[in-house]
Structure 1
């Protein structure tokens, strides 16, 4: 069976739901579209999950999520580990915070009950374990109480997250984060361009945030303007190996992917395998590895997505060749 190679998705998240009726009821899931998924959990759109279908627990609110997963599979792995921290292979036995004290009928450990404190502590733990600590993730909080629980655990533990991992908050109109279509959140903005501009509704669901970066890459690579590698200074040849582009506006620095990786690791991540960030040798600006990989995979694996983003029509010959 052929392996399908896809670009890094525009958005894929692992989210935490909390019942607005019973705060002790929590649910963990994953999705590329948080607003739509929340509507499904609240019964406004078909779908959802059986565990969130009880009318006595609705509406649910999406209180926090982690974004930046490089694939659906990656998000599902993180979701499963956060849901099952007592048996996840991603957490060393000596580091476990969740311990099962009961067994199921089949002899397997029973999942411990979740609390807000346990979810926050295990989320913090998973972001530090070797399996996930170097991924280009970002943590979002949409509820003050939940963020306070996170901060309480962060202050209590001696283990710290890597400094470059973003933790952002957006508490705008918290009551409307339940996704209730009758709330004030459903009113159009004055310019009529959308219903929501805050919380989960402000998250970009497409590649629009990197449109200028993608356009810069298309202009450089389509016309063979790579020049010399910014690291090894060898002449770059079109179609010869993977070539990555500086993420900074106004910089057209291109280099071999392997050269970028060695440069980043040598300058601050020695001993690691996957870089997190580094400095462009040409413009001296900061470059995030995950953002660079998003453009690279979109360019080499997602031409249809690029054409849609840049609103370009593919030549008829290209369509026939693709078929």
Structure 2
């Protein structure tokens, strides 16, 4: 008889999410200054839960609703990193990252000449607890400061704003180009220097039902008009490229690394990268992740002083930005390269029947019908 014992979380293999985000809620009633910070892989469903339209939600939001979702921070590489961000956003006065670096103490010795070991004293937090800590402007200034500091300024994070009020708070400007008045004026104009960082204004709201959305708004599902929580657009485009690549290597199931002489095994999607450019002609450049990482780390953006090195080893471990070594001209974030790896892994598991991923199955079916057309158009 098979065992029914649940697998401990630590034994489960890591799975990168297609979307995991942190969000800021604010009551519908404009006069209220209350806010709520949370995290979710599905913003639309989570807002319905907070508004008691679906099971779930939080005890705090049951009392002060209904709520609007004002802001979304997304692009986290794992649920764990999103939860860490959420906690720091909720408790900036307690986070060790939201305070100046500890002051190094001068060495002290005992009367016998032995060195006294003492811990460096912590500096006061940037945002100490006070009556305005939970107000919308404070929460926006906290998250802007977070996005400008390590470790978060090295993650491929982006921001989505869902209302004109959220845009106003993010810009931190009143009529006349003056900063909004607050106790935290020194953080009113924090600069986020990370290359590739985007702030998307999506005034149609998280449910897309306000009729204020502009043409070309990024990150939407063309079919539903909602946030693309399953990474459908990216998944379809990348899966089509993978089909072209795998067809070329249909016999050997191997490809050549652009950066080293060793072969690439297409059956191991998490060991290599396939160019994620969406332009034409299609670039099928492949490289081992370790090779591409070294290539990316030579870029000026990865070695910039704006991004601190590892505090112990004195070097950057994970790249942030780089260019395709295949010569197609694509440049972008390391996070997009990793997205491509997980897209190929999920697709292979769906085909093999190992996992169920309905939205990705739809992607595979759609791309299977179109990849041959794409191939024939490229060959003509």
How would you bin the TM-score normalised by the shorter chain?
0.7 to 0.9
Mapped partners of 2:143, 2:191: distance in 1: 13
Mapped partners of 1:238, 1:196: distance in 2: 33
Is this contact kept in 2: 1:226–1:254, CA < 8 A?
no
Q: Secondary structure at the match of 1:8?
A: coil
Q: Tell me which residue corresponds to 1:120.
A: 140
The aligned length equals 284
Mapped partners of 1:3, 1:216: distance in 2: 33
Is this contact kept in 1: 2:148–2:193, CA < 8 A?
yes
1:20 and 2:2 are equivalent in the alignment: no
* TM-score of the aligned structures, taking structure 1 as reference length: 0.77
Q: Tell me which residue corresponds to 1:203.
A: 227
Structure 2 counterparts to residues 200-279 of structure 1, below 5 A: 202-210=226-234, 211-221=236-246, 223=250, 224=252, 226-238=254-266, 242-249=271-278, 250-268=282-300, 269-270=302-303, 271-279=315-323
Q: Secondary structure at the match of 2:93?
A: coil
Is this contact kept in 1: 2:21–2:82, CA < 8 A?
yes
C-alpha spacing 1:251/1:19, structure 2 compared with 1 (3 Å): same
Is this contact kept in 2: 1:247–1:288, CA < 8 A?
no
Q: CA RMSD in A?
A: 3.1
Is this contact kept in 2: 1:13–1:67, CA < 8 A?
yes
C-alpha spacing 1:144/1:196, structure 2 compared with 1 (3 Å): farther
Q: Residue 75 of structure 1: CA displacement? A: 1.0
1:139 and 2:139 are equivalent in the alignment: no
Q: Tell me which residue corresponds to 2:17.
A: 9
Which structure: larger Rg?
A: 2
C-alpha spacing 1:160/1:248, structure 2 compared with 1 (3 Å): closer
Structure 2 counterparts to residues 45-60 of structure 1, below 5 A: 45-54=54-63, 57-60=64-67
Is this contact kept in 1: 2:238–2:343, CA < 8 A?
no
1:69-95 Cα shifts (integer Å, max 9, x gaps): 112111111100100110013333448
Is this contact kept in 1: 2:20–2:82, CA < 8 A?
yes
Q: Residue 207 of structure 1: CA displacement? A: 3.1
* TM-score of the aligned structures, taking structure 2 as reference length: 0.66
